[in-house]
Each structure stands twice: as structure tokens, then as C-alpha cells.
């Protein structure tokens, strides 16, 4: 058996979480068109006859933004490199590489781990002017692959390449387990995804979601109480929206996904509250 850990790393919005979900064949990480969607490293487990790969999805590497949350996200990418066997370095041919890309390369090269360079979003070839530039990246990679995480293009070749790099060993997770994420965290993430998708511009970055309670009902359904935290009253009003329209949309979208995924009746109660300091407390426990 082959068994090991692979980190998915790169700038924000390049498709790391999409790749994680489609490599393991199940949605464990949330995906949005907005940068800084992933905030905590998430593990997704690929089980195959030849062994097991534990993928670690990480927040996007950022350069320039100096707020508390960004610093914590950048640090968590570096921490995720400990004890792993290989790195998938994901790049996006629709966005100009520039300084941030070089910064990401510096961090990844410093780990001295085998790197597979993945040029993602190959389905957007017509809108991907940076493919040639990205093909010239040299981080000492063992291989460079052109993939589409969205359309599954070349994901099998990527898996094969990665299994070659994994050491011999027993699996780390039981056969049925596809993630290490707890039930409550997963619900929080689903709600946060809907917040990101329904709020404009910078507003998502002021938001944090916590699930206060999950009650199991006698009819088999679940009653979930969640808080959407933001950093000031003005944002709170925007999240609620005129006559509660925005929070309603977020709630409907979250409830729909939770109902399908959990295959049970869901009652979702959301409240918006202000905590100016949630970013300082984030990830401390």
C-alpha cells in the first residue's frame, strides 16, 4: 500500500478547493469565485486499491494584504507544509502571475518537498493568456500537468503521478472516511459559502459563521441555530438586507444544500451579530 499527505497550495482563487473536491469525488471544501474562501486547512482523503492519499487544501497565499486574518491564513499555509510527502502547486492561467506568484514559489521551494505543478482551468483556454508564462515556472517540479479541476481533465494522471511519490505504508484513515472535518464545522462552511455567494465586494471578509446548536427532531429532521458574525453595525444591516431579503436568500441556499447533503429535513435559524474582534480570535483555540 502507498500512503501519504499531499498539500494543495497556491494563490487564492486558483481552484485548490475545486481540485480537492474533484480528486476525492465529494464536496468537502467550499468553493466561491471570491478570493480567501478557504480559511482553515481541510483534509480530504482519496481511497484507491493502491493506497490512500490525504490531500490538505490550504488558504490562498497572499502578498501585500497585512490584515490580521490574511496573516493568519498565510501562516496556516506554512504550517500545513510540516510532515507532508508532496505538494501540488496550483496556478491559474487566467490571472497574471507577477510578484505574488513568485512569493508562492519561494515558500514552496523552501520546503524541499517534491512538487507537481498544476496549471488549472485549462477548459478556459481561450481566456487563459498566461499558460505559456506559467509553463516556464521552474520550482524543481517532478512534473507539470495541464488540468481542469472543474471538468476533471487530467485528474487521473495527477493521481497516478502523486501515488508514485507516496511512501509505502498503511492508510491513515478508515476506508469510509473522506474528511477530518467535524459535522459542525462542515455546516458552518456551507453557510459561509452562501454568505460569500450572496454578498458583494469586500463584505464576505468581515464575516465568520458559528453553529450554536444542532437539535435532532423526533421526525428525524434537524434544527440548526447559527450566528453570522460581522465586524460592525453597518455590515450587519447589509447582510440582513432590505426587509431581511439578503439573509433570507443566504438561509434558503444554505438550507437547500444541507437538506440534500444530509438527506433530512432542515430547519435553519440564522442571526446576524457584531463582534469587531472575531479576526483576532480566529483560529486561536
Ligand X SMILES: Nc1nc2c(ncn2[C@@H]2O[C@H](COP(=O)(O)OP(=O)(O)OP(=O)(O)O)[C@@H](O)[C@H]2O)c(=O)[nH]1
Least distance between Mg ion and beta carbon 21 (Å): 10
Strand partners, 211: 226
Question: Cβ contacts of residue 203 below 8 Å, gap of 6+?
Answer: 230, 235, 238, 239
Which residues touch 43 (CB under 8 Å, ≥6 apart)? 54, 55, 56, 57, 179, 180, 181
Partner touching 14 among ligand X, Mg ion, none, CB below 5 to 8 Å by kind: ligand X
List, edge to edge, every strand of the sheet that includes 115-119.
Answer: 42-48, 51-57, 2-10, 86-91, 115-119, 143-146
Which C-beta is closer to Mg ion: that of 10 or that of 51?
10
Size of site (CB under 5 A) for Mg ion: 4
70 binds ligand X (CB under 6 A): no
The rounded Cα 272 to chain-centroid distance in angstroms is 24
Verify binding: residue 17, ligand X, rule CB under 6 A. yes
Our finding on whether 107 is near ligand X (CB under 6 A) is: no
> 45 — phi, psi (to 5°)?
-110, 125
CB atoms within 10 A of CB 27: 21
**What is the signed CA dihedral for 234, 235, 240, 241, rounded to 10 degrees?**
70
The dihedrals phi and psi of 29, each to the nearest 5 degrees, come to -105, 145
By CB under 5 A, residue 37 contacts Mg ion: yes
Contact call for residues 196 and 17 (beta carbons, < 8 A): no
Which of 41, 60, 93, 97 is the binder for ligand X (CB under 6 A)?
Answer: 60
Q: Which of 3, 4, 36, 210 is close enough to bind ligand X by CB under 6 A?
A: 36
223 forms part of the interface with ligand X (CB under 6 A): no
For Mg ion, which is the closer residue by CB, 108 or 224? 108
Comparing CB distances to ligand X, the nearer of 96 and 217 is 96
- Separation of alpha carbons 155 and 202, rounded Å: 33
Shortest spacing between CB 170 and ligand X, in angstroms: 29
Q: Is 38 in the site for Mg ion (CB under 5 A)?
A: yes
**Least distance to ligand X, CB of residue 16, Å:** 4
- Confirm or reject binding of residue 178 to ligand X (CB under 6 A): no
Q: Using CB under 6 A, which of 38, 161, 230, 246 touches ligand X?
A: 38
Binding site for Mg ion (CB under 5 A): 16-17, 37-38
Q: Which residues bind ligand X (CB under 6 A)?
A: 12-18, 31-33, 35-38, 59-60, 120-121, 123-124, 148-150
Amino acid at each position: 500500500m502507498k500512503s501519504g499527505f499531499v498539500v494543495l497550495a497556491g494563490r487564492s482563487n486558483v481552484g485548490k478547493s475545486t481540485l480537492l473536491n474533484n480528486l476525492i469525488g465529494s464536496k468537502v471544501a467550499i468553493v466561491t469565485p471570491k478570493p480567501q474562501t478557504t480559511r482553515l486547512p481541510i483534509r480530504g482523503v482519496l481511497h484507491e486499491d493502491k493506497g490512500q492519499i490525504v490531500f490538505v487544501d490550504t488558504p490562498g497565499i497572499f502578498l501585500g494584504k497585512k490584515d490580521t486574518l490574511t496573516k493568519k491564513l498565510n501562516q496556516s499555509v506554512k504550517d500545513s507544509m510540516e510532515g507532508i510527502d508532496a505538494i501540488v502547486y496550483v496556478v491559474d492561467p487566467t490571472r497574471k502571475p507577477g510578484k505574488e506568484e513568485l512569493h508562492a514559489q519561494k515558500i514552496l521551494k523552501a520546503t524541499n518537498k517534491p512538487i507537481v505543478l498544476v496549471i488549472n482551468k485549462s477548459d478556459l483556454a481561450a481566456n487563459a493568456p498566461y499558460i505559456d508564462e506559467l509553463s516556464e515556472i521552474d520550482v524543481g517540479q517532478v512534473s507539470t500537468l495541464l488540468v481542469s479541476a472543474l471538468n476533471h481533465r487530467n485528474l487521473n494522471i495527477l493521481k497516478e503521478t502523486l501515488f508514485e511519490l507516496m511512501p509505502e505504508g498503511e492508510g491513515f484513515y478508515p476506508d469510509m472516511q473522506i474528511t477530518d472535518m467535524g459535522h459542525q464545522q462542515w455546516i458552518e462552511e456551507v453557510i459561509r459559502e452562501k454568505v460569500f455567494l450572496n454578498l458583494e465586494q469586500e463584505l464576505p471578509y468581515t464575516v465568520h459563521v458559528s453553529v450554536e446548536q444542532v437539535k435532532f427532531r423526533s421526525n428525524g429532521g434537524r434544527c440548526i441555530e447559527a450566528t453570522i458574525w460581522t465586524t460592525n453595525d453597518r455590515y450587519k444591516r447589509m447582510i440582513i438586507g432590505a426587509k431581511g431579503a439578503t439573509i433570507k436568500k443566504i438561509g434558503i441556499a444554505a438550507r437547500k444544500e444541507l437538506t440534500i447533503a444530509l438527506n433530512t429535513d432542515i430547519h435553519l435559524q440564522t442571526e446576524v451579530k457584531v463582534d469587531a474582534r472575531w479576526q483576532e480570535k480566529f483560529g486561536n483555540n
